[in-house]
Amino acid sequence: ISPWIVTLEALLPHRVSGPAQDPQPLPYLQCSDPWSFDIELEVTLATNACNEPTVIARSNYKHMYWNICQQIAHHSSNGCPLRVGDLLASGTISGPTPDSYGSLLELSWRGTKPLKLENGTSRTFLQDGDCLTLTGISRSSDSCVGFGEVSGSILPAKIDDNLIVNR
């Protein structure tokens, strides 16, 4: 995750208002200042059949219903502690259109609509050898913050003969 650790100071020039919240949040979660961020996200998928990755989703953090201040307030409202160095994650970041959905489950509509890849194959779920890459960048007229890329490959399951029980 190290490429994705970005300081708040670096993101401040990229603050934007988030989407309208309906229903209106409880008073302790209401926020009058813009505390969402304009962070462009892209997800690519490379398969064993084709190493050339296919862009499968583009989204933006500004579509998040709950901004970072609201997430922290909710997290700590029941006494859950936060300490310096704690990592916070937003969860899936989905946009308003099908090509901006943030998970393969959403993109393939729970596996009922295969996702077409550029090499002619399709996916409803990830397979062994698939490699997902997530990139992020935040741009403004004054600055650009690159998040780098994070990739992960699906490896085949290791079978441990000691765990197999004959019935």
- CA 104 to chain centroid, in Å, comes to 11
- pLDDT greater at residue 160 or residue 62: 62
Q: Check: CB of residue 151 under 8 Å from CB of residue 132.
A: yes
β 131-139/36-37 pair status: unpaired
Instruction: Specify the range with the lowest mean pLDDT, choosing from 58-67, 81-90, 111-120, 157-166.
Output: 157-166
**Omega prior to 23 cis, within 30 of 0:** yes
Domain with residue 133: its CATH number is: 3.90.850.10
Mean pLDDT for the stretch of residues 48-54: 86
Domain that holds residue 114: 2-154
Residue 46 neighbours by CB under 8 Å, 6+ apart: 52, 53, 54, 130, 131, 133
Q: Over the chain, what is the mean pLDDT?
A: 91
Q: For 62-102, what is each residue's pLDDT tens digit?
A: 999 999 999 999 989 999 999 988 888 888 999 999 999 99
For 3, the token pair is: 């490429």
Query: Which residue type, as a one-letter code, is found at position 10?
Result: A
Q: Is residue 165 part of a domain?
A: no
Query: What distance in Å separates the CA atoms of residue 73 and residue 71, rounded to the nearest whole number?
Result: 6
Q: Is residue 167 part of a domain?
A: no
Q: Is residue 64 part of a domain?
A: yes
**Is the predicted pLDDT of residue 3 greater than 80, yes or no?**
no
Q: Is residue 10 part of a domain?
A: yes
Residue 144 neighbours by CB under 8 Å, 6+ apart: 137, 138
Domains in the chain: how many in total?
Answer: 1
pLDDT-derived band at 167 (thresholds 50, 70, 90) equals: low
Mean pLDDT for the stretch of residues 151-159: 93
Q: Is residue 166 part of a domain?
A: no
The residue count of the chain comes to: 167
Q: Is residue 161 part of a domain?
A: no
Q: Is residue 81 part of a domain?
A: yes
Q: Is residue 147 part of a domain?
A: yes
Q: Check: CB of residue 71 under 8 Å from CB of residue 50.
A: no
